[in-house]
Amino acid sequence: MPRRTGRPRTAGASPTGRGTREDILHAGARLFCTVGYGSTSTHALAEVAGVRQATLYHHFPGKHAVLLELLLGTVQPSLDAARALLAGDEPAPARLWALCAGDVRLLRAGEDNLGALYLLPELDDERFAPFHDRRAELEAAYRALVAACGVPADDVVRTAALVLGLVESVILQRRRAPGTLDDRTADVVADAALALVGLEPAHRAAHAGTGRRLAAPAPAAAD
């Protein structure tokens, strides 16, 4: 008997080339960031993904699940990096620099401004609790690194909020003036974060050098 190839597409080639699930997520990213989450139906998601609506429901119970997976994809890489940096023994300012720079690069990456999804009022729904949990852990990591930089205890929460706000200002900048963002943006933001925690320029430069090494992507494995 011929091997079954799974649920057929309704039209055209896969937009991502990575399978139906990724096609649906790609459609969700595009529609939620342009049309809006509230105005996007599962029918529209399926149409843009090039699949039947029944196929969409085979992979996701509804559009909220598509949004949740997109949100988790924006925060999990930063959280993984934060956990590794918290466990490191390099100077705290260098680790904070690396976390900020890595976050900015992530927020700048991709065709769609997925960070803008953080602003959706629908995120108050309890179904998005997994995202909020990971987001809270990331915020705690920022606070821990800010505290380790020597910021006074009664100023840690405020300073950490300012640092994270500076990092995430890239989201609005990407929406309003994307041409102002370039490959230097991550370094500029991370340098400014060290200024916020009170480091003098000479110390910022030294820690930035170490931070760049920490934030550098791992080399690709040889074939």
pTM, rounded to two decimals: 0.87
Q: Could you list the pLDDT tens digit for every one of the 223 residues in the chain? A: 343 334 455 556 666 677 899 999 999 999 999 999 999 999 999 999 999 999 999 999 999 999 999 999 999 999 999 999 999 999 999 999 999 999 999 999 989 999 999 999 999 999 999 999 999 999 999 999 999 999 999 999 999 999 999 999 999 999 999 999 999 999 999 999 999 999 999 899 999 999 999 987 644 333 3
- DSSP letter at 50 equals T
The pLDDT score that the predictor gives to residue 221 is 35
For 21, phi then psi, to 5°, come to: -60, -45
Alpha helices in 149-200 (DSSP H): 156-176, 185-196
Place of tokens 């989450």: 37
- The angle subtended at Cα 85 by Cα 82 and Cα 90, nearest 5°, is 155
The pLDDT score that the predictor gives to residue 48 is 94
Place of tokens 């937009």: 15
d(CA 106, CA 185): 12
Helix (H, G, I), strand (E, B) or coil at 78: helix
Q: Tell the CATH topology of 72-215.
A: Tetracycline Repressor; domain 2 (1.10.357)
d(CA 118, CA 140): 18
Residue spans per domain, the chain: 20-60, 72-215
What CATH number labels 20-60?
A: 1.10.10.60
Quick one: CA dihedral 85, 86, 92, 96, positive or negative?
positive
pLDDT digits (tens, 9 = 90+) for 135-162: 999 999 999 999 999 999 999 999 999 9
Helices 201-215 and 92-108 pack at an angle, to 10 degrees, of 60
